[in-house]
Amino acid sequence: MANTWWELQISCEPALEDSVCWRLEDFGCRGTASEKTGSDFVVKGYLPIFQAELLDLAALGLWLRQDALCVGLSRPTLNWQLIDEEDWATSWKQYWHPQEIGDRFLINPAWLPLPENSDRLVIRLDPGVAFGTGNHATTQLCLESLEMRLSSVPQSFMGTNAKQEPVIIADIGCGSGILSVGAVLLGAEKAYAVDTDPLAVQSTFSNRALNDVSPERIIPAEGSVDILKKLIERPVDGIVCNILADVIIQLVPEITEISKPSTWAIFSGILIEQSNSVAEALEKHGWVVATMWKRKEWCCLNVRRS
User: Which has the minimum average pLDDT: 68-82, 151-165, 240-254, 257-271?
Assistant: 151-165
- Residue 215, helix vs strand vs coil: coil
Segment 99-117 shows an average pLDDT of 91
Kind of pairing between the strands at 287-295 and 238-242: unpaired
Which pLDDT does position 87 carry in this prediction?
65
Q: Which residue has the higher pLDDT, 94 or 252?
A: 252
pLDDT band of residue 153 (cuts 50, 70, 90) is: low
Q: Is the pLDDT of residue 278 over 50?
A: yes
Give all domains of the chain, ordered by start, each with its CATH number.
Answer: 4-94 (3.30.70.260), 98-305 (3.40.50.150)
Q: What is the pLDDT of residues 13-44, one digit of tens each?
A: 999 988 898 899 888 887 788 888 888 889 99
47: left (phi over 0), alpha (psi -120 to 50) or beta: beta
Which pLDDT does position 155 carry in this prediction?
41
User: Which has the minimum average pLDDT: 133-142, 220-229, 265-274?
Assistant: 133-142
Distance of alpha carbon 123 from alpha carbon 144, whole angstroms: 14
Segment 135-149 shows an average pLDDT of 92
Which pLDDT does position 89 carry in this prediction?
59
Distance of alpha carbon 41 from alpha carbon 95, whole angstroms: 12
Listed in sequence order, the residues at least 6 apart from 71 whose beta carbon sits closer than 8 Å to its beta carbon are 15, 16, 19
- Residue 233, helix vs strand vs coil: coil
Q: Maximum distance among all alpha carbons in the chain?
A: 62
Residue 289: count other Cβ atoms within 10 Å of its Cβ: 16
Sheet of strand 77-84: strand arrangement: 31-37, 40-48, 4-12, 77-84
Q: Say what the pTM is.
A: 0.74
Which pLDDT does position 160 carry in this prediction?
42
Q: Is the pLDDT of residue 169 over 80?
A: yes
Distance of alpha carbon 280 from alpha carbon 288, whole angstroms: 10
Distance of alpha carbon 285 from alpha carbon 263, whole angstroms: 13
Cβ pair 13, 41 in contact under 8 A: yes
177: left (phi over 0), alpha (psi -120 to 50) or beta: left
Secondary structure E strands in the chain:
4-12, 31-37, 40-48, 77-84, 99-101, 105-109, 121-125, 168-172, 190-195, 218-222, 238-242, 264-271, 287-295, 298-305
CA dihedral angle for residue 234, residue 145, residue 134, residue 203, rounded to 10 degrees: 0
Q: Taking all residues of the chain, what is their mean pLDDT, rounded to a whole number? A: 88
Which pLDDT does position 161 carry in this prediction?
43
Residue 195 one-letter amino acid: D
Q: Is the pLDDT of residue 157 over 50?
A: no
Q: Which residue has the higher pLDDT, 2 or 59?
A: 59
For residue 299, what are the β-bridge partners?
A: 270, 294
Q: What percent of the chain has pLDDT above 90?
A: 58
Cβ pair 127, 31 in contact under 8 A: yes
Segment 260-289 shows an average pLDDT of 95
Q: What is the pLDDT of residues 200-235, one digit of tens each?
A: 899 999 999 999 999 999 999 999 999 999 999 999
pLDDT band of residue 130 (cuts 50, 70, 90) is: low
Segment 174-196 shows an average pLDDT of 96
Main-chain phi, psi angles of 75, to 5 degrees: -70, 130
